[in-house]
Structure 1
Amino acid sequence: MTAPRPFPLPLGLAAAVAAGVAVPAQGRINGALGARLGDGVAAALTSFGTGLVVLAFLAAVLPAGRAGVRGIGPAVRSREIPWWYLGAGLCGALFVVAQAVTVGVLGIAVFTIAAVTGQTMSGLLVDRVGFAQGRQRPLTGMRVFATVLTLASVAYAVAPKFGAAQDLATLTALVVLPFAAGFAQSFQSAMNGASAVAYSSLLAATLMNFVSGIVGLTVAWAVKVAVAGPGGPLPADFPGDWWYYTGGPLGVVFIAVATVLVRRLGVLLTGLGMIAGQLLGSLALDAFAPAPGTVVALPTVVGTVATLVAMVLATLPWNRRMIRSR
């Protein structure tokens, strides 16, 4: 694999934060669609489907997209990447299924903490072993401190949203799923980054991510229908407002930016930047387009600012030798 081109760190972090802002917006849109359809998994499948349509159109009309798609087979046959990297989108499918299954029981606060904990822990691991990145990134004390600060900041930011009457046993059992979904995100980003290099095409890597993701969601939806039956009838005004179907394109932006950045910033820094963006996006939504009953609390603001500080600290390359030299 060829080494990625140099990328200015401040620009990369700004891009990660901007992409992270798309996540709560996508969640709000998919949640509204799920409420309209009466089926959260069907809403997730619809979101992935609209994203896939956008990517398939771009891949068909852009010469670089067509070339990238043609490069998928040779890259796998030559073992430039393992064949199972084609299934990276299953990690994204796991995340949206976890949202659909657990948010209603756990609440968005517990879900966020569990998912972010898994994502930051796996970010450290993926960078340390160099999974799918072509090089290892050192596990410095500053990175560990920034990770701990991020987890504490997110917990503090979402503290006002905790419900008072949670069944502890149910919460403990269900929290494993969003933790696993968050843990898988770092591996998804790393695999997508390696695939983009192997195909010489960001578009082809993102397209394959959505293909495998929609396969996984189709299976999940089929299992749900077999176990619990289909959801209620479609609303009379289906398909409804156009913005219900913008969640997929937002997911395209999020995954594409992560795919580019993990090869340049590493999985941990990319993840921390996107977590900061998620909190900023959530704060903006609560302030300017609040859901019923939503208020902006001081811990949310303080936790968001502390997360941004943690992201900056994680970029510092200091180690003991450098500190002594100073």
Structure 2
Amino acid sequence: MKRLLRALSYTACAVLGGSGVAFQASLMGDIAAERAALPTSTAMFVIGSLVLAATVVCIPRARHATLGLPGLARRRQIALRDLLNGLGGAVTVVVQAVTVGPLGVAMFTLGMIGGQIGGGLALDAIGSAGRRIPVGPGRLLAGALVMGAVAVASASAIIAPSPLMLGLAIGGGVIGAWVGAASSRVHRATGSLPAAALVNFAVGATGLAIVTVVLGQGGATLSTLLEPRLLPAAMLGIVAIGVSTLLVVRLGVLGLAVCWTVGQLATAIILDVLRSGAFTWLTVVSASLMLLALLLMTLRAPSARQPKPTT
């Protein structure tokens, strides 16, 4: 019973995290449509980095963990590729900003989730999040049901999507699945969630800033920093990386992707209904598939045994 309740709590938190990602995608898409995708993404990462840096400075344990990162890297207690996971997060956010407008929230979600579930299958098999988790028929069926739910929900909104945009969304999903696992490894090595999140945002902000300067969009990025909607977008991004970092080792990459998807899709449906006022039977079918997938994923949740970070 305790294991079931724990699995339910993990599932609920992951669903809420996915809902936040959908809201962030909508915000970033709107801002990028008015300005430009690259300056918008760079400004969001810079704002998120500043918020996290202030948090780390105010928490002695997080400050100590952050200052100890170079030593951990020298002693090979943490891999360089894991410290660079923020570059993957930056790519994901850019993809989000570029593709949400042309594809729409629902189709963007379909592509991203396809990439996350496919990537999750491979990453769980090799133990990327800290332990190998057998996929099993139940978890595989849950992933298939979620993909079906996304496809059903997107059916009425699909109007000859650009193969390039859809491919970018799928690739962003694969990268996003890896980012959560890599950030979890940084968390276990440092024992500090704020430090792990700061690594993600600071590295992402640095990479994006270099690109904007090279492309001559540095001035546009500075003006975009004053956009008030970027602060809530950054906060949603911080919550998302925190939730995925904590839960990926408990649910597995595939489990997190399934729960994440349900939150994203449910929110995307609500946003689309609010914008268009349309509500069809496809929504009911999609919601039913999502609930069944969540039930399967909760009942098939992996054991809670995993390496824990020092605190």
The verdict on a shared fold, with TM-score over 0.5 as the criterion, is yes
SS in 1 for 2:48: helix
2:290 to 300, 307, 320: 307
User: Relative to structure 1, is the Cα distance of residues 202 and 7 closer, same or farther in structure 2, using a 3 angstrom cutoff?
Assistant: farther
Q: Deviations over 1:136-174 (max 9, x none)?
A: 1112011111111111111111222222xx37xxx2233
Instruction: Please list the CA deviations of residues 263-287 of structure 1 after superposition, one character each: whole Å capped at 9, or x if unmatched.
Output: 2221111111111111122233345
The answer for the alignment partner of 1:117 in structure 2 is 114
1:69-117 per-residue CA deviation (whole Å, 9 max, x = no partner) reads 1231222122122111111111111112112333333343332211110
Residue from 144, 148, 151 that aligns with 1:152: 148
Aligned-pair CA distance for 1:10? 0.9
Structure-2 residue corresponding to 1:321: none
**Bigger mean CA deviation after superposition, 106-115 or 19-28:** 106-115
1:69 and 1:39 mapped to 2: Cα distance?
32
Superposed displacement of residue 309, structure 1: 1.6
Q: Deviations over 1:167-217 (max 9, x none)?
A: 7xxx22332221111011111111111110100111100100001111232
Equivalence for 1:322: none
Q: Match for residue 16 of structure 1?
A: 14
Q: Give 3-state SS (helix, strand or coil) of 2:42's partner.
A: helix
- Whichever structure has more helix as a proportion of its residues is 2
* Cα distance in 2, alignment partners of residues 20 and 232 from structure 1: 27
Query: Cα offset for 1:316?
Result: 3.3
Is the Cα–Cα contact under 8 Å of residues 19 and 264 in structure 2 kept in the other structure? Answer: yes
TM-score by length of 1: 0.83
Q: Which has the larger radius of gyration?
A: 1
Cα shift readout 1:207-241 (whole Å, capped 9, x = no counterpart): 00001111232244345547xx9769969xx946x
SS of 2:135's equivalent in the other structure is: coil
Paired position in structure 2 for 1:96: 93
SS in 2 for 1:35: helix
Secondary structure in structure 1 of the residue aligned to 2:132: coil
Cα RMSD (Å): 2.7
Query: Identity across aligned pairs (percent)?
Result: 32
1:209 is matched with which residue? 200
Partner of 2:188: 197
Residue 29 of structure 1 is matched in structure 2 by: 27
1:61 Cα deviation from its structure 2 partner? 0.8
Q: 1:184 to 1:49 in 2, by over 3 A?
A: same
Amino acid paired to 2:108: F
What code does the residue aligned with 2:30 have?
A: A
* Pair 1:262 & 2:260 matched: no
- The 2-side partners of 1:232 and 1:257 are apart by 28
SS at match of 2:255: helix
Displacement of 1:122 in angstroms is 0.8
DSSP-derived class of the 2:203 partner: helix
The one-letter amino acid of 2:72's match is: A
Letter paired with 2:282: P
Tell me how far apart the structure 2 counterparts of residues 184 and 208 of structure 1 sit (CA, whole Å).
17
**SS of match in other structure, 2:299:** coil
- Give the one of 237, 243, 261 matched to 1:251: 237
Deviations 1:255-306 (A, max 9, x none): 101100012221111111111111122233345xx33x45333323431331
Change (3 A) 1:231 1:125: same
Kept in 1: contact 2:42–2:221 (CA 8 A): no
1:214 to 1:300, Cα distance in 2 relative to 1, 3 A: farther
Describe how 1:142-291 pairs up with structure 2 within 5 A: 142-163=138-159, 166=160, 171-222=162-213, 224-225=215-216, 239=226, 242-287=228-273, 290-291=274-275
Query: Which SS does the other structure have where 1:149 is aligned?
Result: helix
| Cα deviation 1:17-63 (Å, max 9, x = unaligned) | 11111112112222232234x21221111221221111000000111
Q: What aligned pairs does 1:126-137 form with structure 2 within 5 A after superposition?
A: 126-133=123-130, 135-137=131-133
SS at match of 1:99: helix
- Give the conservation status (yes or no) of the 8 Å contact 2:124–2:132: yes
Q: 1-side partners of 2:284 and 2:205: how far apart?
A: 35
How many residues align? The count is 298
User: TM-score when scaled to structure 2?
Assistant: 0.87
